[in-house]
């Protein structure tokens, strides 16, 4: 039997595919390659180029392949972009997930591991964030992910589909072997941008606001190594296979780093100066986001191994040095 990975050519999805294959699973990938990279798809995965909004296409794949579970990473994921194109976000993310669930119902596939986000919470009422806190998203992106969680909840009630929804905090790093890594166009995330400055591809990094109510005035985020993050997905699947109930879990580290601390660590790791500029606050940025990771630890037995921020930045840096142009020109 196979695992179907939706969005398996993207940053996080491709890491899931590699880890699943390394653990001996057969993997089917669906990706429309709009933000994903063909070169990121593991050579032993069976690849279908298509869109999850195309129900007919999904039915064809589910009929042809013997699928036992779905890992769902296929979504638009930029907070800023979602503020400009909310309807596109609901179309790709919510409508897309509706089609996935319909195809699963028809094919009698009853397990899904879902890529959710801390953006479902909106402005935190207190830190660290726990899963029982209210979800009041402040962006169409966060709202769409929250709606996707609700779709799964109802699909479970009516159709028995079990899910684990994993609410990611700030995912960073790359595969330790440097075979795959993070390559977004445009790049908006802090660590890859800082490393592009270190590589001489940008002149400086603009810090979006240094007047927050934090120790050094810059925003604090909770960073998780992409490989630890994927470990949690495999544990979540195992948990469902052992009869576990559907669950929503944070994936974070109980620990936060400021933008300035990230830049300082990147200077140490790369040995480069990394000039900074201080800019205005970016709309919608909460000052501090830190997860309580207790639920993932207790329920899924998730114990991240690559928790030092140096390790996360070293692996990201190795990927950038070995792939200065990311995946480069695609076929
Ligand atoms: N930042 C800068 N300069 C930059 C880029 C980022 O100062 O050039 C700052 C941001 O203002 C923020 C921090 O660095 O304070 C981290 O920013 P990222 O864009 O790397 O990540 P976000 O915290 O904004 O977003 C991430 C994911 C989202 C997810 C969110 C949930 O990318 O998909 O976490 O918390 F919704």
Rounded to whole angstroms, the Cα distance separating 3 from 21 reads 10
- Other C-beta atoms closer than 10 Å to the C-beta of 50 total 16
The per-residue pLDDT for 151 is 98
Q: What is the interface pTM, i.e. ipTM, of the complex?
A: 0.96
Say how many Å lie between the CA of residue 257 and the centre of ligand 1: 12
Q: Does residue 14 contact residue 173 with C-beta atoms inside 8 Å?
A: no
In the reported structure, the alpha carbon of residue 8 is separated from the centroid of ligand 1 by a whole-number distance in angstroms of 22
Please give the number of the atom of ligand 1 that sits closest to the Cα of 218.
15
CA of 115 to the centre of ligand 1 (A): 17
Residue with tokens 């919510």: 94
Rounded to the nearest angstrom, the distance between the alpha carbon of 272 and the centre of ligand 1 is 22
Share of residues in the chain with pLDDT > 90 (%): 97
Average pLDDT of the chain, as a whole number: 97
pLDDT at 28: 98
Domain ranges of the chain: 2-172+223-251, 190-221+254-322
The neighbouring-strand residues paired with 5 are: 29, 71
CA angle 3, 294, 237 (to 5 degrees): 10
Query: What are the structure tokens assigned to 224, written together?
Result: 């998780």
Q: Which CATH class is domain 190-221+254-322?
A: alpha beta
Per the annotation, the verdict on 141 as an active-site residue is yes
Residue of 282, 290, 316 with the most ligand 1 atoms within 8 Å of its CB, for mutation: 282
Bond preceding residue 113 cis, omega within 30 of 0: no
Enumerate the β-bridge partners of residue 114: 72, 165
Residue owning the nearest CA to atom 34 of ligand 1: 170
Pocket flag, ligand 1, residue 189 (CB < 6 Å): yes
Ligand 1 centroid vs 189 CA: distance in angstroms?
Answer: 5
172 lines ligand 1 (CB under 6 A): no
283 pLDDT band, cuts 50/70/90, is confident
Pick the CATH number of 2-172+223-251 from 3.40.47.10, 3.40.50.880, 3.40.50.300, 3.40.50.720: 3.40.50.720
Active-site position among 11, 121, 141, 212: 141
Q: What are the respective helix, strand and coil percentages of the chain, to the nearest 5?
A: 40, 20, 40
Q: Is 76 helix (H, G, I), strand (E, B) or coil?
A: coil
pLDDT in tens, 64-96: 999 999 999 999 999 989 999 999 999 999 999
Is the pLDDT assigned to residue 329 strictly greater than 90?
Answer: no
User: β-strands 257-258, 220-221: how paired?
Assistant: antiparallel
Residue 191 CA: which ligand 1 atom is closest?
20
pLDDT at position 190:
98
For 122-177, write each residue's pLDDT tens digit: 989 999 999 999 999 999 999 999 999 999 999 999 999 999 999 999 999 999 99
Question: Model confidence over 204-227: pLDDT tens digits?
Answer: 999 999 999 999 999 999 999 999
Q: How many CB atoms lie within 10 A of CB 324?
A: 12
Instruction: Give the closest residue (by CA) to ligand 1 atom 26.
Output: 170
Q: What digits encode the pLDDT tens for the residues 1-39?
A: 999 999 999 999 999 999 999 999 999 999 999 999 999
Ligand 1 contact, 208 CB (< 6 A): yes
Q: Is the pLDDT of residue 331 over 80?
A: no
Q: Which atom of ligand 1 is nearest to the CA of 281?
A: 11
Asked whether the whole model's pTM tops 0.90, one would answer yes
> Does the structure show a pLDDT above 80 at 330?
no
Pocket test for ligand 1, best of 190, 191, 209 (most atoms within 8 A of CB): 190
As a whole number, mean pLDDT of residues 189-205 equals 98
Other residues' Cβ atoms within 10 Å of the Cβ of residue 10:
28
| Ligand 1: centre distance to CA 190 (Å) | 6
3 state DSSP class of 120: helix
Among 92, 15, 12, 80, residue whose Cα is nearest residue 51: 92
Ligand 1 lined by 313 (C-beta under 6 Å): no
User: Among 122, 189, 212, which is best to mutate for testing ligand 1, by the most ligand atoms less than 8 A from CB?
Assistant: 189
pLDDT in tens, 224-271: 999 999 999 999 999 999 999 999 999 999 999 999 999 999 999 999
């Amino acid at each position: 039997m196979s695992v179907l990975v939706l969005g398996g050519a993207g940053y996080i999805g491709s890491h899931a595919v590699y880890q699943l294959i390394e653990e001996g699973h057969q993997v089917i990938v669906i990706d429309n390659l709009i933000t994903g990279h063909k070169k990121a798809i593991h050579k032993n995965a069976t690849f279908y180029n298509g869109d999850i909004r195309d129900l007919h296409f999904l039915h064809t794949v589910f009929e042809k392949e013997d699928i036992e579970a779905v890992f769902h990473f296929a979504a638009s994921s930029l907070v800023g972009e979602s503020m400009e194109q909310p309807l596109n976000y609901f179309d790709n993310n919510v409508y897309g997930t509706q089609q996935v669930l319909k195809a699963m119902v028809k094919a009698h596939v009853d397990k899904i591991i879902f890529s959710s986000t801390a953006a479902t919470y909106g402005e935190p009422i207190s830190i660290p964030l726990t899963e029982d806190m209210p979800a009041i998203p402040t962006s169409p992106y966060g709202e769409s992910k929250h709606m996707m969680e609700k779709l799964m909840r109802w699909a479970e009630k009516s159709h028995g589909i079990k899910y684990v929804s994993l609410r990611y905090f700030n995912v960073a790093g790359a595969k330790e072997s440097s075979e795959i890594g993070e390559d977004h166009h445009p790049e908006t995330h802090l660590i890859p941008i800082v490393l592009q400055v270190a590589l001489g591809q940008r002149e400086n990094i603009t810090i979006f606001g240094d007047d927050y109510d934090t120790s050094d005035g810059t925003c604090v985020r909770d960073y998780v190594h992409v490989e630890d993050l994927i470990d949690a997905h495999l544990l979540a699947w195992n948990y469902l296979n052992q009869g576990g109930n559907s669950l929503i879990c944070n994936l974070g580290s109980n620990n936060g780093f400021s933008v300035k601390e990230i830049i300082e660590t990147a200077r140490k790791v790369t040995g480069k100066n990394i000039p900074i500029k201080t800019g205005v606050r970016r709309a919608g940025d909460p000052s501090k986001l830190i997860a309580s990771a207790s639920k993932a630890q207790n329920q899924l037995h998730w114990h991240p191994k690559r928790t030092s921020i140096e390790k996360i930045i070293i692996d990201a840096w190795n990927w950038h040095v070995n792939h200065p142009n990311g995946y480069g020109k695609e076929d």
